[in-house]
Amino acid sequence: MIGAAVVLTSATALVVTGGPAMAAPSGCSGRANYVIPGNFVSFCSGGSGYYEAIAYCSANPTQGSAFTYIFGPTVSVGHSSVADCPSNKKYLQGGKTAVL
């Protein structure tokens, strides 16, 4: 009987530490602002969890794929994440919303 009680306690502990499953953010959109300096804004309206904006910024407007990734803050659903291009890489080349 003691062995059975130990197994039950161990199984219960595993279930408790597993935690509830979370739904990924949904209804996400991104907006590229090509002003100088540029930025990328991400927003998710549904689900739960976290996401962030990622801007692709360059020092020259014609550099194409030669860009630096700039990350916005990690936010929860219903909040905006803004990734601002720094002054030394002020040209936005694009961006995306990264669901974490």
pLDDT tens by residue, 51-96: 999 999 999 988 767 899 999 999 999 999 999 999 999 999 999 9
With a cut of 60, say whether residue 21 has pLDDT above it: no
With a cut of 60, say whether residue 17 has pLDDT above it: no
Give the phi and the psi of residue 42 in degrees, each rounded to 5.
-115, 145
Instruction: Specify the residue for token string 């904006």.
Output: 53
From the list 62, 63, 53, the residue with the least C-alpha distance to 85 is 53
For 28-44, write each residue's pLDDT tens digit. 999 999 999 999 999 99
Task: Identify the pLDDT of residue 65.
Answer: 72
Can you read off the two tokens belonging to residue 8?
A: 């039950």
